[in-house]
Structure 1
Amino acid sequence: MAASNFLFVSADAALITDLAWQVYREGHDVRYYIEAESDRDIGDGFVPKTDDWREDVEWADVVVFDDIWVGSDIGTGALAEELRADGKAVVGGTPTTDRLEEDRGYAMEVLEDHGVATVDHHEFHDFDAGIEFVRENPAAYVIKPLGEVQNVKRLLYVGNEDDGSDVVDVLQAYRKAWGHRMKGFQLQRKVDGVEVAICGFFNGERFVEPVNVNFEHKKLFPGNVGPSTGEMGTSMFWTGRTELFEATLGKLEGWLAAEGYVGSIDLNCIVSDSGIAPLEFTPRFGYPTIALQEEGFESPTGRFFDDLAHGRDPDLRVHRGFQVGVRVVLPPFPFDDERTYDENSRNAAVVFQTPDRDGIHLEDAKRVFSGDTPSGAGRAADGQWRVAGESGMPIVVTGKGETMAAARRQCYDRIDDIVIPNSYYRDDIGERWIEGDGDRLQAWGYLEGPR
């Protein structure tokens, strides 16, 4: 296809850098806007930037929004809807689909309205009311913050005590420490089983096949311990419209079409031999999920998103096997401590011990060239990779193979060839599948395995 003009918009933090870089490397014209001042250097030297995305809307053939947030408020769905009304091709949601992530109670209502059974859940906007509920209904619960503060991932708490006493203790602590910001929370009954997410790309009318099955690893340390993070790594594969898909996202196909949704949508679930329990939506790209999905694309990424945004039926060819992605991070991740970041991470070098860059994906990184190098030289030039932004998440490293074990080996072999002082990462991404999650899901009839 002829080159298209892609405008990537980060209306809050910079998240979509790697996808913009991939599309740029394929020969398309790219402009990237970042709203957050602290993130403005992310992607420098990799993709061309713009200071005013609205000025570039007429130039763009495709506009891509990376998240639902505009600062501390949801809002990219409204922006995307406005642009579509003006005839623009947009990858992004709607005000209603944005609400699926921001308002967890509403998300459960949508599922229930379309015949999807949900976990027992209750919303509270008062800590005392939530504490009283747990005391009157003792059980193990998951605390999920509502609204903007849900982006502080370490506030998600999974209860361990059958009487809910630990949940009461945590809510009392949150009331003191976070009462000024945490305006509400959901208590969701804890369910045991295999945690798995089903993800599909939607073109405004229907889901594109194949669909994606992925397994998130949110805790900081191996063995799934430590504070919750946005994500430390993901394993995945591609498949057809399995029972897991048809029983969840598949039931929302007509609703999403009526909304005019375009883009990636993911539903995380707990699955057991007794059924499927949906947990939460991601009505946008997942991070680092999208980097790992890109790695699996065997058809051009730019063409896929151009077709998706224009409502065409994309030809999506993908890796027939398994994929593993690992987020490599730096202090003080996942916490905020400017002094620690300045001392250990800011502007740190990312050193590659081989010339191979396969499986290396951008997060909070920039590229610095010696001398005067025009921005367009970033298609082929290498330069010095440096840490950018303030979050301490410079890169994601991926691998793929016919088996999960082979994908893990390739991924971690690539990490071994990278030197970033003070960096750390989980070394167990993908092990849950090997140790039995895959066997259980297939025995229960929810998955067919990779196609």
Structure 2
Amino acid sequence: DKLKKDVEVIGASAITEELELDRRKGLEIARKMGFAIPESHEFKTFKEGMNFLKGRKELWVFKPCDNKEFTYVEKFPGELIARMQNDSGDKCEYLLQKKIKGTEISTEVWIGKQGPKSFNHTIESKTLMDADLGQALGSQSSTVWIKSRDGLLTAELTRMANYLSKEGYIGPCDANCIIADKPYFLEWTPRFGYDALYCLLSLVKGKLSDFFTKGFGVDFYDGYAASQRLSIPPYPYGTPKLRTLYAKDVSIMGGLKDYPLFWAQ
């Protein structure tokens, strides 16, 4: 924010950092922008969450309030209770959010000095291996295409763009949602999103630099762009020691019937 007094800054600010890292704040702003929110409950210890989950048949998602740790999506009822049992006395502020069955899709607006300039969609795979198996990552693969200024979530993101513009923000703002009977908001990504950014830039017609120097108001190719992250061990762990510590001899919870995408592939 201090740099903005002298130079144009794209994709970074105190207000957008708060939106992403403070889940309470992010949900509050999403409601004001007109997004539907899945049923959510806040807890301060694992014991509180375990008591809430007992006997429930629906699936729930564990989300730390500070968004500094990975979320976890139950694969079968009771899985989160089993994972919390060893830490039942620990204090940890988090949300339990009811899992919505549907298609997860990100919708992004690029905000110039005069408000929204362009929109795009991303469908993303977040797990290391096929069929939603393996460690959850920020992104394993992405498919991106340009959307029109009409239709899905345009009104909500236009309101968000105008809100951030008043705060002096320039850059991208992405709303990650589950599409079921209607879009349900999950979280904000008001910054460059990896690896979707590379896909988006490959759709730019003309010079790559034009996208940034012309305030994101450029022409794009039709169709879509896709990315696939290639890696070698010990990724996604920083060292072989960490991989052994976190991944070796991990119990497989549930049964293969709880992993329908495994059988589909």
TM-score if structure 1 supplies the norm length? 0.50
Q: Please give the per-residue CA displacement for 1:314-351, whole angstroms capped at 9, x wherever unaligned.
A: 4311121121110001111122324589xxxxxxxxxx
Amino acid at match of 2:226: V
Q: How does 1:28-427 map to 2 (within 5 A)?
A: 81-84=1-4, 86-135=5-54, 139-147=58-66, 149-150=68-69, 153=70, 156-161=71-76, 164-173=77-86, 183-209=92-118, 211-272=119-180, 274-308=181-215, 314-338=216-240
SS in 1 for 2:9: strand
- Cα distance, 1:126 vs. partner? 1.9
Amino acid at match of 1:333: Y
Query: How far off is 1:131 after superposition?
Result: 1.9
CA distance change for structure 1 residues 99 and 242 in 2, over 3 Å: closer, same or farther? same
Greater relative contact order (Cα 8 A, min sep 6): structure 1 or 2? 2
User: C-alpha distance in 2, partners of 1:173/1:87?
Assistant: 51
Contact kept? 1:264, 1:285, Cα under 8 Å: yes
Deviations 1:96-154 (A, max 9, x none): 2211110112111101122222111123332222222223766311112233632xx4x
Structure 1 residues 90 and 166, CA gap change in structure 2 (3 angstroms): same
Q: Distance in 2 between matches of 1:300 and 1:167?
A: 48
Cα 1:194/1:148, change in 2 over 3 Å: closer
**CA offsets per residue over residues 9-58 of structure 1, 9 Å max, x none?**
xxxxxxxxxxxxxxxxxxxxxxxxxxxxxxxxxxxxxxxxxxxxxxxxxx
Per the TM alignment, residue 82 of structure 1 is displaced from its structure 2 partner at its CA by: 1.3
Structure 1 outlier segments of 4+, above 4 Å: 173-176, 338-341
For residues 207-258 of structure 1, what are the alpha-carbon distances to aligned partners after superposition, in whole Å with 9 as ceiling and x for unaligned? 112x111101001111222221111110121121232132432231221112
Partner of 1:396: none
Q: Does the 8 Å contact 2:22/2:67 carry over to 1?
A: no
CA distance, structure 1, for counterparts of residue 234 and residue 165 of structure 2: 42
Task: Provide the C-alpha distance between the structure 1 equivalents of 2:105 and 2:175, rounded to a whole number of angstroms.
Answer: 9
Rg (Cα) greater in structure: 1
Provide Cα deviations, 1:247-305, integer angstroms capped at 9, x if missing partner.
43223122111222111111111102x21101111110111111111111113222321
In structure 2, the residue corresponding to 1:328 is in which secondary structure?
A: coil
What CA RMSD, in Å, does the superposition of the two structures yield over aligned residues? 2.5
2:199·2:227 contact (CA, 8 Å) conserved in 1? yes
Residues 124 and 185, structure 1, Cα contact 8 Å, conserved in 2: yes
Distance (Å, rounded) in 1 between the aligned partners of 2:172 and 2:162: 16
The number of equivalent residue pairs is: 245
Give the CA deviation at 1:199: 1.0
CA contact (8 A) 1:196 1:268 kept: yes
Structure 1 residues 143 and 233, CA gap change in structure 2 (3 angstroms): same
Contact 1:205 1:256 in 2 (8 A): no
Assess, with a 3 A threshold, how the Cα gap between structure 1 residues 194 and 247 changes in structure 2: closer, same or farther: farther
> What TM-score results when the alignment is normalised by the length of structure 2?
0.83
1:207 aligned counterpart, secondary structure: strand
Percent identity, please.
25
Unaligned residue ranges in structure 2 (runs of 5+): 244-260
* Alpha-carbon distance in 1 for matches of 2:55, 2:156: 32
Q: Which runs of 5+ in 1 are unaligned?
A: 1-80, 309-313, 342-431, 436-451
Check whether the contact 2:33–2:156 (CA below 8 A) recurs between aligned residues: no
My pick for the range that moved more, 125-134 or 189-198, is 125-134
